[in-house]
Amino acid sequence: MNYQSTSSSYSVYRQLGRTGIEVSSVGIGTWAMGAEWGTQEDQESIATLHRALDLGCRLIDTAQVYGDGRSEQLIGRVLKERGEHVPVATKVPPMDGNWETIPGVTDIREKFPAHYLIERCEVSLRNLQMDCVDVYQLHTWCPSWNNETEWYEAMLKLKEQGKIKAIGISVSDNRPDEANGTIAAGRVESIQVIYNLLEQRPRFHLFPLARTHHVGILARVPLASGALSGTWDEHKTFAPDDWRGSVFTGETLRRTVSHVNALKQIAAEVGCSMLEFAVRYCISDPTVSSTIPGARTPEQAEALMRAMQAGPLPEEALRRIEELWEQEFKHQIRTSIGPGSEE
């Protein structure tokens, strides 16, 4: 078994790689707070953040595009009200607004020119009402950029000016190892990647290198865009404006429900809900500095923090999950996820 986990040594707080930043093993993602998943009232978002922080959350992940700055502004408001510092990770979008990249074709200067990275950092700092953001992440990446240095020099300048603490990259949905070259070159301190019960490839293709270079891992989409909530069936439908309706349909939906049903049996034996089971899976390998599920209500925040307190899954459950992955899941990976998805 490749998990490097021992539940007896579990702490709800972990180091984010070599950054010196301490984060909670379960953070909060704020995509929905930008009203990107339908209507979301600001007061509900504010109450959700307060509840998560009250219960020990020590990482908030956001992005400039979540509600065109709305999510960042809400975070800034909450932290100012509380008068405390909590690590915040934000993401700068590609300049042309297109997250898709083609290796060997897409020029990083079209997406993240140096001047743009510096200018957009100032935007995030204003939105967050902060002098320094803990983790500043590129919101997409391309394998052919691994030898580029202009973007890195701009990031170093921001670090030298005290405007960011750590340099991060959010890798593409279906290319978990695409930034391995820049990890090996020592240019990045944090990687955000899709990692969950149904997408375990990072554990094999990214985590070993991250451990070697002491790079922090932020695991996004721990609930597989809601599939791992355990409430779906083969007749699941989505609102017309919900992007998941174009992905989870037909055979993809049927296969996803089948996989989740198999996992439900293990969760039942562990004695926890599917939501808790999915979140606890993500923190069962300490290579994961934090997983960042989205939350929209105080009740959802409470459920996530309960999962954090419960800690890693039992070794026997992890063994059975790995068997399912090897025998079934890895051959039928769903590679299409909404950009920036957290849940």
Q: How far apart are CA 207 and CA 287, in angstroms?
A: 6
DSSP letter assigned to residue 332: S
CA angle 56–52–169, rounded 5-degree value? 90
Q: How far apart are CA 237 and CA 248, in angstroms?
A: 9
Question: Per the structure block, which two tokens stand in for 257?
Answer: 């429900």
Q: How far apart are CA 135 and CA 65, in angstroms?
A: 16
In sequence order, which residues have a C-beta less than 8 Å from that of residue 262 and are 6 or more positions away? 324, 328
Check if the beta carbon of residue 62 is closer than 8 Å to that of residue 266: no
Q: Which of 3, 66, 136, 152 is catalytic?
A: 66
- Helix-helix angle 42-54:70-82, to 10 degrees: 50
152 carries an active-site annotation: no
DSSP letter assigned to residue 49: H
Q: What is the DSSP string of 69-134?
A: THHHHHHHHHHHHHT----EEEEEPPTTS-----TTTS-HHHH--HHHHHHHHHHHHHHHT-S-EE
DSSP letter assigned to residue 276: H
Question: Per the structure block, which two tokens stand in for 254?
Answer: 């049927």
- Hey, is 59 helix, strand or coil? coil
Q: How far apart are CA 329 and CA 27, in angstroms?
A: 26
Check if the beta carbon of residue 310 is closer than 8 Å to that of residue 240: no
Q: How far apart are CA 20 and CA 13, in angstroms?
A: 12
Q: Phi and psi at residue 276, in whole multiples of 5°? A: -65, -40
Positions marked catalytic: 66
